[in-house]
Structures are given as C-alpha cells and as structure tokens.
Amino acid sequence: MLWYKAWLETRWRFVIGLLLMLCCAAVVVFEYPSVVRLMQQLPAVAPDGEIGRRVAEEIRLSRQFRGFVWSHAFGQDLVTVGTFCSVILGVGGLLPRSAGDATLFTLSLPASRLQLFGVRAVTGLVEWLALAMAPAILISLLAPAVGERYGLGAALIHGACLFVAGALFYSLTLHLSAVFGDPWPPLLITLCLALALAIPGPLLHVPGRGFYGLMSGEAYFQGGRPPWPGLLGTAALSAVLLAGAFVTFRRRDV
C-alpha cells in the first residue's frame, strides 16, 4: 500500500523525467556526425580571452566521440535536466498542503512515521537512480548506430556520478519538504542553490566545473579515476539531509 501510494505520487514526474533524459542522450549521439562534418570545415581557432579559451576547449572535445558525449551529454544536458528532475522528485509527499481526508488516511495506516518517510525517500531515490543510469546506458547502446563506440563501463561510471551528486539536490528538496507545508519553497530554494553552484566557475575563472564537474564525472573523464572523495562526501551529506528530514517529519504535528 505505502509503496504503491509513493509510486502514484511520483509516477508522472518520473515518466516525464525519464523521457526527457533519454531524449537528451539520443539527441547528443545522433548529433555527432553533423558535428564531425562541421569540425572539418572550421578553421583553427586561436584562444583570445576566457571566452575564446572555452570555445577552443569545446571544439577540441568535440573532435572525438568520447569528448563530445562527455561535454554535451554528461557535462551539460543530462546535468541540467537531471538536476531539475531530482528536485521535482523530492518535492512534496511528506507534508500536506492542507489537512484533508487523504492526509488523515495516510497517517491512520498501520505504519510508523519511519516507514512512511522511508518508503517515500527510497521510492524517489530509486526513480532518480533510473533517471541517471538509463540515459548513460542508452548512449552506450546507440553509439554503434553512428559508427562509434562508448564503453558500457564508462557510461555506468558517469551515470553513477550523476546519481550520487544529483541525490544531494533530491535529499535537500525532501528535507525542505519536511519543513514547509507548501511545495514552492523547497522547489525554489533548491533550484536557486543549483544555479548558484553553476555561477562561481565562469565568473571567477576557476578551472574545472566545480560541483557540476563532480556530477558529470570530470575527474574520471580527464584522469580515468572516479572522484571517490567527492562522491563519498556528497553521499554522506545526502544521508545527513535525509536523516534531518525524518527527524523533522516525525516531530512536526501534521
């Protein structure tokens, strides 16, 4: 009953998010042949300033399928859409917007607050795991269609980075949903934080992509090693946020 209820509450968010993520992955793969033809016609670009350097870097990455996929799929499209999907999955589901029959029915079920929260949290995490891993696997499966190859192992590692880092946004949104009775404050606060994390690098000329570099698996792409410290630290922070959400949910009089 509880699992089915949690699925009903999030099913359309999950389905729409999954379609968007899969479309992003497919578009990047099938766009690559056109990019290759364009690269052959472009003259050499001499970096001039920060913008020129970034353009030249994008061109360099796009000359190989692996670099193009990382830059445009894992580094841009999937991170952007995935961040929004993880936030949407975490919104609501804990506290009602108004005390009604559905809320009374939920709280009258023979289940503890821990079970109610645990089912809701785990359902969202499993859905977010599917959203993170499915497009990564699809990229590996579609690569031969454009005459390229993308290892399944590499795709899974990038998908795992996307999942672990993106789970922080999900956990924060769920935590805030336990504090606010309205879905808008958790949604807006977390999206503002996500936007703030994207700003410092370009403005301060900081090398790398910061938190989104972790989310895209930048360290693995550049050096061949997963960013274990960052992933473990992010996972620990997500666990703290989820624990805090449960404590708030248990203590609040709904």
In the predicted model, residues of the chain with pLDDT beneath 50 are 97-105, 203-206, 254
Q: Are 25 and 73 in contact (CB under 8 A)?
A: yes
pTM: 0.89
169-200 tens-digit pLDDT: 999 999 999 888 788 999 999 999 999 988 76
Q: Are 85 and 49 in contact (CB under 8 A)?
A: no
Q: Is 240 helix (H, G, I), strand (E, B) or coil?
A: helix
Residue 55, pLDDT score: 64
- List, as one string, the DSSP characters of 17-44: HHHHHHHHHHHHHHHHHHHHHHHHHPPP
What mean pLDDT value characterizes the chain?
Answer: 85
Which residue matches tokens 């472009």? 42
Q: Provide the residue ranges of all domains of the chain, joining segments of one domain with +.
A: 2-251
CA distance 254 to 137: 41
